[in-house]
């Protein structure tokens, strides 16, 4: 029962939102989770779970009205953030930025155009329409094909052979809410994620990660990351300058900001995409545990337009975050996690599926079952712990089969 507490409506039941709701409840909020799954990972932490789509504007608006919500939030998901912004504006609720800004940062058609017009470094691209001649793009191959407004890397593909482009565009369009697609040149280099907090219109970098991804002709999967990123002090400074430039161009202040970029051998930075929010995975834990920076609390403050004054501390350890993925099936349970934790091989783990949820290889995020956190003094120690731990971890489906996908364990060359 609410007992007249202020109500926060949270869109999307991913596991970081469970930790968000714990912090909201500590501030006296009654938390309402909106997610169409029967038992999403965050549901156990909600005061109330309503089975509706977090992408259904009318449904979310109705819930927020009926609950007399003070906040409508989705600080760890991309497309749901736009729904939250629109509902908040309709109801006159506080939100970190307006719906137009939310649209500009959740739709790559607008995001890329604004970046190009304002000198934010990014790859050359074109927007694809029904009349676009795919035989004369004016882009260098390989290229990356992307839906403009999907999530979880759905529909993203790297294409080297122009003969495969039309099919990739069609597939990407099927994942887009608006059926829009962009094609951009593939940049060589190391993929780096930058997590920052914008204060006084300047980005404070909290942590950086080297992302380890599989980039194929039909799917892109980020399956691991290592923080802090292996970049020079000069490159790290440049990464902060780019974050500040993004914040200034798009008008962000007192809000989290993360972005993904390619860092070339020459140290040049090319932004892939960004969002004024947390990431959807383990970053909230990494920042709080390794840099003493509570980005979830900073995010809550941003919804009230409250400045978050705490600064991050130098990171203490090397941390490898690894996504244990499953083959196609219906998830039932895992085996071996606590044993590997007791051995000191894994420091922490987070479940991304609950029993009965479907594991799909159709897009990267749908195959993720467990997020592992592995700590060490250096990258090779972390990799050794991961390899040993994975020998004893199993994902079991509803037919009793081990469906753990062991093909994406990083190699030494991925993390050094």
The domain covering 124-185 belongs, at the CATH homologous superfamily level, to ATP-grasp fold, A domain (3.30.1490.20)
CATH 3.30.1490.20 segments of the chain:
124-185
pLDDT in tens, 251-308: 999 999 999 999 998 889 999 999 999 988 899 999 999 999 999 999 999 999 999 9
Kindly report the average pLDDT of the chain as a whole number.
92
Name the nearest CA neighbour of 245 among 115, 125, 124.
Answer: 115
The torsion angles phi and psi of 270, rounded to 5 degrees, stand at: -125, 115
The confidence score (pLDDT) of residue 153 equals 67
pLDDT grade for 196, boundaries at 50, 70 and 90: very high
CATH 3.30.470.20 segments of the chain:
190-415
Q: Give the H/E segment covering residue 9.
A: strand 7-11
Write down the CATH number for the domain with range 190-415: 3.30.470.20
Q: Mean of the pLDDT values across residues 145-166?
A: 82
By three-state DSSP, how is residue 44 classified? helix
CA 389 to chain centre: 25
pLDDT in tens, 298-344: 999 999 999 999 999 999 899 999 999 999 999 999 999 999 999 99
Q: 266 is written with which tokens?
A: 């020459």
Q: What is the pTM of this model?
A: 0.91
* Cβ pair 205, 198 in contact under 8 A: no
**330 vs 399: CA distance, rounded Å:** 8
By three-state DSSP, how is residue 128 classified? strand
CATH 3.40.50.20 segments of the chain:
7-95
The CATH class given to the 7-95 domain equals alpha beta
């Amino acid at each position: 029962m609410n007992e007249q507490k202020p109500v926060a409506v949270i869109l999307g039941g991913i596991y970081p939102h469970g930790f968000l709701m714990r912090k909201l409840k500590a501030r006296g909020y009654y938390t309402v989770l909106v997610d169409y799954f029967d038992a999403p990972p965050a549901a156990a932490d909600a005061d109330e779970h309503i089975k509706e789509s977090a992408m259904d504007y009318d449904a979310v608006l109705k819930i927020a009205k009926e609950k007399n919500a003070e906040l409508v939030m989705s600080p760890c998901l991309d497309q749901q953030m736009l729904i939250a912004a629109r509902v908040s504006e309709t109801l006159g609720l506080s939100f970190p930025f307006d719906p137009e800004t939310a649209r500009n940062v959740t739709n790559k058609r607008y995001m890329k155009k604004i970046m190009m017009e304002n000198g934010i470094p990014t790859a050359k691209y074109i927007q694809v329409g029904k009349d676009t001649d795919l035989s004369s793009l004016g882009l260098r191959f390989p290229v990356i094909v992307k839906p403009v407004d999907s999530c979880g890397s759905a529909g993203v593909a790297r294409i080297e052979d122009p003969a495969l482009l039309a099919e990739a565009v069609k597939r990407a369009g099927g994942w887009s809410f608006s059926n829009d697609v962009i094609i951009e040149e593939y940049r060589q280099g190391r993929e780096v994620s930058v997590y920052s907090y914008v204060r006084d219109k300047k980005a404070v970098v909290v942590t950086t990660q080297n992302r380890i991804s599989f980039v194929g002709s039909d799917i892109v999967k980020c399956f691991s990351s290592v923080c802090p990123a292996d970049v020079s002090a000069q490159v790290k400074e440049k990464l902060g300058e780019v974050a500040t430039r993004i914040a200034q161009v798009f008008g962000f202040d007192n809000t989290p900001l993360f972005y993904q970029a390619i860092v070339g051998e020459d140290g040049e930075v090319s932004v892939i995409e960004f969002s004024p929010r947390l990431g959807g995975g383990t970053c909230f834990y990494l920042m709080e545990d390794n840099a003493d920076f509570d980005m979830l609390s900073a995010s809550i403050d941003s919804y009230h337009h409250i400045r978050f004054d705490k600064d991050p501390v130098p990171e203490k350890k090397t941390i490898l975050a690894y996504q244990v993925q499953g083959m196609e099936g219906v998830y039932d349970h895992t085996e071996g996690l606590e044993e590997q934790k007791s051995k000191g091989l894994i420091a922490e783990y987070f479940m991304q599926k609950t029993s009965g949820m479907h594991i799909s290889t159709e897009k990267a995020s749908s195959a993720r079952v467990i997020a592992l956190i592995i700590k060490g003094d250096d990258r090779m120690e972390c990799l050794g712990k991961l390899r040993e731990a994975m020998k004893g971890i199993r994902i079991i489906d509803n037919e009793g089969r081990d469906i753990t996908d062991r093909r994406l364990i990083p190699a030494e060359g991925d993390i050094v």
